[in-house]
Structure 1
Amino acid sequence: MIRGVLFDLGGTLLEVPEPAEIIVLALEEKGILKDLQEVSSAVATAEASFTGNEFIGKEHWIEWNRRVLSNLGISPARKDLASHIDSSWWSRAKVSLYPDVMPLLKELWSRGMKMGAVTNGVSSDLPYLIDDVGLGDYIEVRVSSDLAGRRKPSPRIFLHASKEMGLPPSDIIFVGDEEELDYKPSESVGMTPVLISRKKPAPLVRNAISDLGEILKFL
């Protein structure tokens, strides 16, 4: 019996800019001009270079920025710039809710469902990403990489969220927009995984949706 729903944030509940767009703006402020396509490539290479949980929380994102800068030919020694990009990230990122979010959350709330969010971001970002956009009354459980000590796709972050909800994984739906980070690992711990694919054809997975309202059919 499903009694709780956990959500990824960016790309699932929140519409956020691509990371490369934020990097371009941050570099422009420092007088460094880089093409969006070049930065996108540097971001993809940096992302692929992480193999596990060698860095957690804010440390991960500073190292992530440092690797992007290195891929762009900007001195890896400029950890100060990597830290600056991290600390000012959300000041450059316009975050908004997808139109289908609030109707679903209100319906789940009316049914007495527990709700929560799991993110590879850090706990200091959560007030901005949850409370400031109007999700605070609905998202009761908040799990970030620094609080869990692991990043997605580690099963441990999903099990941590299950414990925080006070529910076994079998009673929880996990909704995310990435098959490798959200769908597969949540399924591996016994949750019901749901993949939302808004802008492109969904991968061939059992539980795929294009609108959050479709989650109700899994309850």
Structure 2
Amino acid sequence: MIRAVLFDLDDTLCDDTGQMFESIREVAGLVPGGDPEAIADGYWRISHRFWTYEIHTRPPEPLESIRELLWKQTLDEAGVAHAPAQLKLLAARYGEAREKTPPPFPDAEHTLAQLKARGLKLGMVTNGVSESHTGKLARLGLGHFFDTVLMPDLTGFAKPDPRQFHLACERLGVLPEHTAHIGDSLVSDIGGARGAGLTAIWYNPENKPRPESATEPHHTVQTLAELLEITG
């Protein structure tokens, strides 16, 4: 029996990808001597790699430092000369652009409310850091639904590390086998949840094919409302 549900945040409760790419394109246009489209594509790829595969291998560090590093790697790859002051400016402007939080997905609030009404405990496990995601969660208006929120800079762990999932279960007072986790990443969310002994639910609204090499989820949903049936 499922007694608790853990949620990813970005691209699970709101469209982070669309807003992120708009921000990247906006800042890429500020780089002198570079091709904005190529720079935007490069930052997108490098950032995705970092937040999916590298964040859990690094010690906690300020978000601004992470963004400066990602812009440095992007410009280095593009062969564009840069100075430390320029990296700080790009990181700052990108941070400002990322403050524009998209609205929650249409069925997010209703689904969370229904799960709470049924007596399930809810947690959030995101790889976003507190410097950006505490405010994002507040702006989404969904924070009050969650009994606990875990972020890597506050716990010392990041998905797919099973310790992050086990810590969430411990805080909620439930066993992993009685807990489900839903997220859009086959690596961080599905691989992490299955590795920690949770029920793994892949949020796949666009019905994308799953690569053969990827971890198989226990369930796949295209809407958050489908959680109500799975947990019912």
TM bin (shorter chain): 0.7 to 0.9
- The structural deviation recorded for 1:55 is 4.7
Aligned pairs for 1:14-25 (under 5 A) are 14-16=14-16, 17=18, 19-25=20-26
- The structural deviation recorded for 1:53 is 1.4
2:98 maps to amino acid: W
Aligned pairs for 1:38-53 (under 5 A) are 38-45=39-46, 47-48=48-49, 51=54, 53=57
Structure 2: which 5+ residue stretches go unaligned? 211-215
What percentage of aligned pairs have identical amino acids? 24
- The structural deviation recorded for 1:111 is 0.6
Structure 1 residues 180-210: Cα deviation after superposition (integer angstroms, max 9, x where no partner): 1101111111111100101233526431011
Structure 1: which 5+ residue stretches go unaligned? none
Structure 1 residues 10-65: Cα deviation after superposition (integer angstroms, max 9, x where no partner): 11001122534312212435667643354224421454465451253524444233
RMSD across aligned C-alpha pairs, in angstroms?
Answer: 2.6
Query: In structure 2, what is the equivalent of residue 84 of structure 1?
Result: 92
Query: In structure 2, what is the equivalent of residue 64 of structure 1?
Result: 70
Gap change, CA 1:61 and 1:35, over 3 Å in 2: closer
- The structural deviation recorded for 1:128 is 2.4
- The structural deviation recorded for 1:176 is 0.1
Establish whether residue 208 from structure 1 lines up as the match of residue 220 from structure 2.
yes
1: CA distance between counterparts of 2:204 and 2:97?
25
Query: In structure 2, what is the equivalent of residue 138 of structure 1?
Result: 145
Gap change, CA 1:32 and 1:113, over 3 Å in 2: farther
Query: In structure 2, what is the equivalent of residue 112 of structure 1?
Result: 119
Moved more, 50-59 or 173-182: 50-59
2: CA distance between counterparts of 1:45 and 1:137?
33
**Matched positions, count:** 218
Gap change, CA 1:30 and 1:77, over 3 Å in 2: closer
Query: In structure 1, what is the equivalent of residue 27 of structure 2?
Result: 26
Establish whether residue 188 from structure 1 lines up as the match of residue 189 from structure 2.
no
Normalized per residue, which structure has more helix?
Answer: 2
Moved more, 33-42 or 102-111: 33-42
SS in 2 for 1:63: helix
Structure 1 residues 112-143: Cα deviation after superposition (integer angstroms, max 9, x where no partner): 11112111111122332212211022122111
